[in-house]
Homo-oligomer: A and B are copies of this chain.
Amino acid sequence: MRDGRIAAIGTNLEAPSGTPVESLRGELVLPGLVDAHTHLDKTLLGMPWHENTAGPALVDKIRYERRMRREWEIDAARQSARQIELSLAQGTTHILTHVDIDTENGLTCLEGVLSARDEWKDLIDIQLAAFPQSGLMSRPGTLELMREAMAMGCDWVGGLDPYAIDRDPKGHLDAIFGLAQTFGRPVDIHLHEPEEMGALTLSLIFERVRALGMNGKVTISHAFCLGSERSHIVGPLLDQLAELDIAVITTGPSGWAAPSVSQLTQAGIRVGSGNDGVRDTWKHYGDADMLSRAMFIGLRNRLCRDDEVALAFDICTLGGARIMRSADYGMSVGCAADLFVVAASGIAETVARQPVRKLVVKRGQVVARDGECIRHAR
């Protein structure tokens, strides 16, 4: 590696004298993991245990979270740093995080995540989406905050269930696509809406992508409607996603309908993944490890053969990088030297066993060793 890039790949390479050398003995070097959908600002990592008493519906959890963010003093900067440290220790080199923007918290979450990103910018690439978690049209004042958030440096315009949560799909989509046009930024929409509802919302998204020429600049997260059992719903949606180069992010959820990653990939659609919330007010589960995420994707999609497991790994690496438009990502000469090392026979074993990351390298610099990050969060 030289100047943060892969300079040569081979055996018996001569390094200029004084070059630091890492001796790996038959270990496996793999491209950095990409967590393309998480919420750094809301993890409870490292905080005292808080009993979860939230109600079952999505809106219950949104309200509960807004309340607990204040009551439990969830500091976005401190918590982001904790999850970043854990992610780095596990080989993640790129993160796309959605940051809550609402009329109660204003821009404080964003300020926290921005400061964490700045503090860790030499160790990891982080993109931010301004995310109207509590609703956009349904909570007057949010759109203005979203505009400020974009002006403060968010990389993505986020959206959320335009009909099921915000109750105004036309208003919601016009607003976020308007922001995207104003700021020249891509869009990522959390879409939990199931079956026909989600399909119709997707068709409204397709209209706007087509009208605005935003092909290749939109991502749908979760996309539960693509997990419908009814092929007459899913088939036409896949065709249009491919045509408009709209990407899909799936966590491989266990308790929800979920798109088939094989179907998406075969249709030529870019697919990435992410840990979503890690130990937050929504649920206690989560370890921020994109290798266990690959396992979840494998289990959800019944990926059993080694070549199938490799698809799950691709989604958690290259797939996310293609969504984050990391042009120099990869394992070829000239690519950014973003990688990790494990003792494993191959990719399938790496996903199945999730071995300790012996080494994590970001732009040629060792950022974690034997499962421990070189920098520690407060």
Are B285 and A255 neighbours in the complex by a CB distance under 8 Å?
Answer: no
List residues of chain A with CB under 8 Å of any chain B CB. 48-49, 51-54, 56, 61, 252-255, 279, 282-286, 295-296, 298-302, 304-306, 309, 345-346, 348-349, 351-352
- Minimum Cβ distance to chain B for residue A23 (Å): 23
Residue ID in chain B nearest A55 by CB atoms:
B305
Which of B49, B283, B309 meets A345, CB within 8 Å?
B49
A255 in contact with B346 (CB, 8 Å):
no
| Interface contact B306-A51, CB-CB below 8 Å | yes
Copies of this chain, whole number: 2
Chain B residues closer than 8 Å to A51, beta-carbon distance:
305-306, 348
Q: For the complex, would chain A's binding face be called helix, strand, loop or mixed by DSSP majority?
A: loop
* A53 lies within 8 A of B306 (CB): yes
Which residue in chain B gives the minimum CB-CB distance to A304? Answer: B283
- Please determine whether A300 and B53 come into contact, CB atoms closer than 8 angstroms: no
Q: Which residue of B lies closest to A292 (CB)?
A: B292
List, sorted by A's number, 14 A–B pairs whose CB atoms are closer than 8 Å.
Answer: A48-B345, A51-B306, A51-B348, A52-B305, A53-B306, A252-B254, A254-B254, A254-B299, A255-B299, A255-B300, A255-B301, A284-B304, A284-B309, A284-B352
Cβ–Cβ contact A285 & B298, under 8 A:
yes
User: Are B296 and A49 touching (Cβ within 8 A)?
Assistant: no
Given A254-B296, A284-B352, A349-B284: A52 in contact with B302 (beta carbons within 8 A) = no
List 10 other contacts, CB 8 Å, given A51-B348, A255-B301, A284-B306.
A49-B349, A51-B305, A54-B304, A54-B305, A61-B304, A254-B299, A284-B348, A284-B351, A284-B352, A285-B352
